[in-house]
Structure 1
Amino acid sequence: MVSHLGGCQCRRASALAVVRGRARSALDGTGLSSECRRSASRSARGKATARGCLSRGSAKTVSLPYKIATLLYCFNAADEVLLLHRAQEPNRGLWSPPGGKLKTDIGESPYVCACREAHEEMGLVLKPTDLQLTGLISEHGYQGNTHWLMFLFEVKPRLIAVPPPHAEGTFQFFPRAALGGIALPETDRESIWPWFWQHRGGFFGAHCHCHEGGRNEWTLEESSVSGGARTPTSA
């Protein structure tokens, strides 16, 4: 009887060792199954983590500084838009709306930032109610060095003169039809300007994933188009 029990115990111990050995061979050093390791090797089909396998097609993310800025879309009585020929980076040598970065260290709001930048760059005295938030743009990895969050404001009062040159560059009014013939940032040309014109008086939110090699992947995340009449004032 003792000999029979001892044999059963040996067989059970041997079977348990085999099971444990198979379990160890099915896992790597992080505890991932062989299936997850195979999935991780196919980056286009997802990534593996210690909790399991991520969904396929996950976008590559990059850790970069995140900056918040405002852009000011100013018009004259002829509905020409004011652009800045930038003398500084980013977008040096290109035409873009004036604006600037929020003072995040003091908790500055986007509206206050826009009013401050309007005064510093163009000599305009604005208040938050003079601004219409038309768009919100996030850019992942713009120019490979920065993530951006940008608030796009249309300035309601109409400008009556071209602002004088500034350290950031020189100003000029352009009719809408002329924008296709001037040097613009590629992201502006691709999507931001078309969406701005489409949503003028409404609102849109969009995200751009800037890939290596210059390819931009856009997602329109919110769209509200307004067909209401606009009544311009003067600044």
Structure 2
Amino acid sequence: MTSAPTIVVAAIAFHRADGTVLTVRKRGTSAFMLPGGKPEAGESAVDTALREVREELGIVLRPSDLRLVGAFATHAANEAGHVLHATVFETEADVEPAVQAEIEEARWVAPGAAIHDASQAPLNREHVFPLLAARTPHAS
């Protein structure tokens, strides 16, 4: 995977009390992913994640609302032949997303069940959801 073009993103796993996690689908794509996106020049992963969820979902968070889940490499969901390098954060902030900007659809999913959902991006199925499901058995 290292010789393929690389896409760098930062994303946030929003947890609800029932164990579900917010996923979004961008306009013109089929894969659901965690809210987030690509950094602007000089932007940290935390700043990128916070800016993207504000722009795409109208959610305003502080850096202290986030905890690092990890950094992962996988195949990009919407760009064939690209590698995705994602820094993923999580929060239990109580949010009501407002779909806007390039986001077409938002849905809450149980990580344990969504591991097997082909509409979920590889990052979710291969890395993030298995970690979340292992920590939160009721979310499957």
| Alpha-carbon distance in 2 for matches of 1:187, 1:81 | 14
| Higher normalized contact order (CA 8 Å, seq sep 6+, divided by chain length) | 2
Do 2:16 and 2:92's aligned partners in 1 also have CA atoms closer than 8 Å? no
- Segments of 5+ residues of structure 1 without an aligned counterpart are 1-59, 201-235
Q: How many angstroms does 1:97 deviate by? A: 1.0
Secondary structure of the 2:129 match is helix
Do 1:134 and 1:196's aligned partners in 2 also have CA atoms closer than 8 Å? no
| Alpha-carbon distance in 1 for matches of 2:19, 2:75 | 32
Identify which of 96, 99, 107 aligns with 2:36: 99
Identity of matched residues, %: 25
- Give the number of the structure whose alpha-carbon radius of gyration is greater: 1
TM norm structure 2:
0.76
TM norm structure 1:
0.49
Instruction: Tell me the number of residue pairs that the alignment of Structure 1 and Structure 2 aligns.
Output: 133
Secondary structure of the 2:48 match is helix
Q: What is the Cα-based RMSD across aligned positions, in Å?
A: 2.7
Alignment partner, residue 88 of structure 2: 152
- Segments of 5+ residues of structure 2 without an aligned counterpart are none
The letter of the residue matching 1:172 is: R
The letter of the residue matching 1:93 is: S
Give the direction of change, closer, same or farther, for the CA distance of 1:191–1:66 in structure 2 (3 Å limit). Answer: closer
| Alpha-carbon distance in 1 for matches of 2:75, 2:25 | 24
Q: Deviations over 1:99-141 (max 9, x none)?
A: 10011x2x11111111101100111111111111101012478
